[in-house]
């Protein structure tokens, strides 16, 4: 029972990070029909920028909360600009091209970001300097650290804010309208280019926060970390129904929990043949299962009315 | 000096890749007029309206609106100047509610108070929409969607409204209702350019008309003259 509670806690925290990254995939897919494979790497850049800021400031003796705010702020700034430029330079010229062209471009950008990061930060793992000393809260025999709690609460806050923004604000409505019919949105006075650029900025900024969270949670960063994180977040987006913002939240949390549970019990289930280091296969089992059983995902509409 | 025409189109050509859909159209609409644009399937009416509203870039020719050259200006720019298109097939946002669709119509406006009044006006004009304001537009009937598309365009307070086949696919009673609405909008002083398959009804509603064939304007006259013309009667009124 402790294992269950513990893995549920770990899964929800991890899942809330997946969900943040999944939002970036799903928002761009919704509006462009494009799987932005570079999104995981944008998150990686956010993580490494945050790490660098923490390293620089922690050594200078700046208080931890201020370090975190500055690290987050720098990561958001860099990632927003990065998302904006990628959209402008790589995707906008291909908007009316066959679908395969932007997809291949996305993979190219992903590789470009990885190797640029390797040039800047090197290929070794970068450790987070000692910054926080999270306390543990006991819940039914399981441990919830204050760091986990903070990550989960912040992630949920960001997601709630985004959902509200898309539902209730003028810009959010324009985003949904553009997604459903860009030409008609233009007839309403919406500058579709601006809406698309805005979508990339929001997705990238949220990815930056997720990057900071990963760094704080695992204590390390690496130029290739965006690959696995991106794939899992993409899986989460597909699980929830790609293009659906609520689905990304649901898919992220669910995937986190599935993965944690599986890694908690995999040893028992396989009689010790497979250890918890096989956890990554579950994400992809989920991906394959969803694609076979319900490709539109849990909350995805099954096509039809897309104008 | 005020321009004689609200909209002036000279030598408009539009192509889809190699397909020359519009091959030199001249037309003009004066402020306060209701003008019909009729023609057979594939004549290039929709393509013309798309170019006028900024959805398609003209290959050549010029567009003047309110005396200013607006050739090549995008749709989101023109709607701010009061030029609005109700597209063929309605183009409602299927997964937005009726009220959200109307709010999109008022996207370019900031006068909250007046916008609220315009919501009420649209709901008064179309009681069916008022009852369904929280319903997703994609679940409305064809006629209701057409009402919504017209109501949504009215929310931008257009000076010139381009309507692309508002009666398409509707039952006779609904066609009557839509045309009544079109007349009511015109009576409010909105200038109208109406594309229609239903040539008789269109010409009876409008004061002037243009007839398009294979990407060109082949006839331009008063509605009465067009209704009396043997050529029009044969080709479009089924006589
Ligand atoms: N997206 C497109 N790509 C290629 N050709 C097109 C496209 N849209 C229209 N056309 C062609 O352009 C010509 C004019 O089409 P358009 O839709 O303007 O005609 P229309 O007069 O509106 O016809 P209808 O009364 O059937 O609506 C047609 O020959 C059509 O096949
Ligand atoms: Mg047409």
Beta-bridge partner residues of B171:
none
pLDDT score of A225 more than 90: yes
Q: Which pairing describes strands B34-39 and B83-86: parallel, antiparallel, or unpaired?
A: unpaired
The protein residue whose alpha carbon is closest to atom 16 in ligand 1 is B44
According to the model, what pLDDT value does residue B190 have?
96
Average pLDDT, chain B: 94
Residue A13 resides in a domain? no
Cβ–Cβ gap A183/B87 under 8 Å:
yes
Q: Is the pLDDT of residue B2 over 70?
A: no
At residue B236, does pLDDT exceed 80?
no
Structure confidence by residue, pLDDT tens digits, A15-25: 999 999 999 99
* Cβ atoms of residues A146 and A140 within 8 Å: no
- Which of B118, B106, B115, B129 shows the shortest CA–CA distance to B188? B118
User: For residue A239, which of A307, A276, A291 has the smallest C-alpha distance?
Assistant: A291
Q: Is residue B116 part of a domain?
A: no
> What total number of domains does chain A contain?
1
When pLDDT is cut at 50, 70 and 90, the band that residue A123 belongs to is very high
Q: What is the CATH number of the domain that holds B60?
A: 3.40.50.300
Shortest alpha-carbon distance between residue A303 and chain B (Å): 12
* Residue A52 and residue A120 in contact, taking contact as beta carbons nearer than 8 Å: no
Q: What's the confidence (pLDDT) of residue A166?
A: 96
| CA gap B165, B90 in Å, rounded | 9
In the block, tokens 């015109």 appear at B186
Which chain B residues in 160-219 lie under 8 Å from chain A, judged by CB atoms? none
> Is A241 part of a structural domain of the chain?
no
Place of tokens 């304001």: B133
The answer for A 167-196 residues in CB contact with B (under 8 A) is: 170, 173-174, 176-177, 180-181, 183-192
Atom of ligand 1 nearest to the CA of B43: 21
User: Could you tell me if residue A307 is inside a domain?
Assistant: no
Choose among A254, A226, A250: nearest CA to A300.
A250
CA of B50 to the centre of ligand 2 (A): 10
How far is CA A205 from its chain centroid? Answer: 10
Distance between Cα A199 and ligand 1 center (Å)? 33
Q: Considering the domain boundaries, does residue B113 fall inside one?
A: no
Predicted confidence band of residue B1 (pLDDT cuts 50, 70, 90):
very low
As a whole number of angstroms, the distance between CA A219 and CA A199 comes to: 30
Residues of chain B above pLDDT 70, percent = 98
Give the model's pLDDT for residue A305: 38
Classify B24 as helix, strand or coil.
strand
Separation between Cα atoms, residue A129 and residue A62, nearest integer Å: 13
Domain housing B61: 5-91+144-236
Q: Is residue A106 scored above 80 in pLDDT? A: yes
Residue A3 has pLDDT above 90, yes or no: no
User: Could you tell me the pLDDT band of residue B194, with boundaries at 50, 70 and 90?
Assistant: very high
Do the domain assignments include residue B115?
Answer: no
User: Looking at chain B from residue 87 to 106, which residues have their Cβ under 8 Å from any Cβ of chain A?
Assistant: 87, 91, 93-96, 100, 103-105
* CA B193 to centroid of ligand 2, rounded, Å: 14
Question: 0.90 exceeded by the pTM?
Answer: yes
Greatest CA separation found in chain B?
51
Find the closest chain A residue to B82 by CA distance. A189
pLDDT per residue as tens digits for the range B40-58: 899 999 999 999 999 999 9
pLDDT at site B239: 66
Total domains in chain B come to 1
Assigned domain for B39 exists: yes
**Spatial separation of the C-alpha atoms in residues B101 and B107, rounded to whole Å:** 10
> What is the least distance, in Å, from the CA of A275 to any CA of chain B?
45
3-class DSSP assignment, residue A40: helix
Mean pLDDT of the region B212-227: 94
Q: What is the pLDDT of residues B75-132, one digit of tens each?
A: 999 999 999 999 999 999 999 999 999 999 999 999 999 999 999 999 999 999 999 9
The range of the structural domain enclosing residue A77 comes to 19-226
Which residues lie closer than 8 Å to A123 by C-beta, 6 or more apart?
A: A223
């Amino acid at each position: 029972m402790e294992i269950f509670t513990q893995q549920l806690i770990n899964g929800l925290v991890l899942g809330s990070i997946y969900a943040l990254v999944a939002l970036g995939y799903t928002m761009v897919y919704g509006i462009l029909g494009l799987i932005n494979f570079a999104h995981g790497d944008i998150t990686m850049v956010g993580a490494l920028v945050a790490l660098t800021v923490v390293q620089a400031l922690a050594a200078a003796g700046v208080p931890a909360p201020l370090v975190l705010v500055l690290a987050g702020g720098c990561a958001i700034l860099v990632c927003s600009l990065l998302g904006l430029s990628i959209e402008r330079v790589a995707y906008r010229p291909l908007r009316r091209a066959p679908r395969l062209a932007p997809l291949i471009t996305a993979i190219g950008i992903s590789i470009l970001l990885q190797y640029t990061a390797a040039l800047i930060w090197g290929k070794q793992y970068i450790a987070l300097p000692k910054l926080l000393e999270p306390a543990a809260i006991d819940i039914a025999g399981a441990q919830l650290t204050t760091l986990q709690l903070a990550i989960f609460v912040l992630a949920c806050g960001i997601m709630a804010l985004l959902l509200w923004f898309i539902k209730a604000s003028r810009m959010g409505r324009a985003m949904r309208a553009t997604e459903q019919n860009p030409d008609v949105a233009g007839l309403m006075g919406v500058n579709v280019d601006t809406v698309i650029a805005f979508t990339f900025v929001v997705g990238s900024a949220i990815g930056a926060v997720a990057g900071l969270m990963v760094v704080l949670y695992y204590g390390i960063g690496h130029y290739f970390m965006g690959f696995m994180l991106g794939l899992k977040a993409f899986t989460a987006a597909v699980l929830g129904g790609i293009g659906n913002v609520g689905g990304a939240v649901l898919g992220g949390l669910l995937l986190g929990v599935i993965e944690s549970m599986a890694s908690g019990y995999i040893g028992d289930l396989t009689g010790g043949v497979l250890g918890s280091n096989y956890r990554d296969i579950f994400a992809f089992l989920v991906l394959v299962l969803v694609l076979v059983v319900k490709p539109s995902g849990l909350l995805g509409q099954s096509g039809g009315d897309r104008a | 000096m005020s321009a004689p025409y609200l909209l002036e189109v000279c030598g408009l050509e539009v192509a889809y890749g190699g397909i020359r859909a519009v091959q030199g159209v001249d037309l003009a609409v004066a402020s306060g007029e209701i003008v019909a644009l009729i023609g057979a399937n594939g004549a290039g009416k929709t393509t013309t309206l798309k170019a006028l509203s900024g959805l398609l870039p003209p290959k050549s020719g010029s567009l003047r609106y309110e005396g200013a050259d607006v050739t090549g200006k995008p749709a989101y720019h023109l709607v701010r100047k009061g030029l609005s298109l109700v597209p063929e097939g309605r183009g409602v946002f299927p997964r937005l509610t009726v009220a959200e669709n109307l709010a999109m119509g008022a996207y370019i406006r900031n006068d909250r108070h007046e916008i609220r009044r315009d919501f009420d006006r649209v709901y008064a004009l179309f009681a069916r929409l008022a009852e369904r304001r929280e319903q997703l537009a994609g679940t409305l009937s064809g006629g209701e969607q057409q009402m919504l598309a017209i109501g949504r365009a009215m929310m931008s307070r257009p000076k010139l409204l381009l309507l692309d086949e508002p009666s398409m696919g509707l039952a006779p009673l609904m066609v009557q209702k839509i045309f009544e609405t079109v007349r009511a909008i015109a009576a409010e002083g909105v200038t109208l350019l109406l594309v229609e398959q239903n040539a008789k009804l269109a010409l009876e509603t409008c004061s002037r008309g243009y007839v398009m064939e294979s990407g060109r304007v082949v006839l331009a006259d008063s509605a009465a003259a067009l209704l009396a013309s043997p050529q029009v009667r044969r080709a479009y009124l089924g006589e």
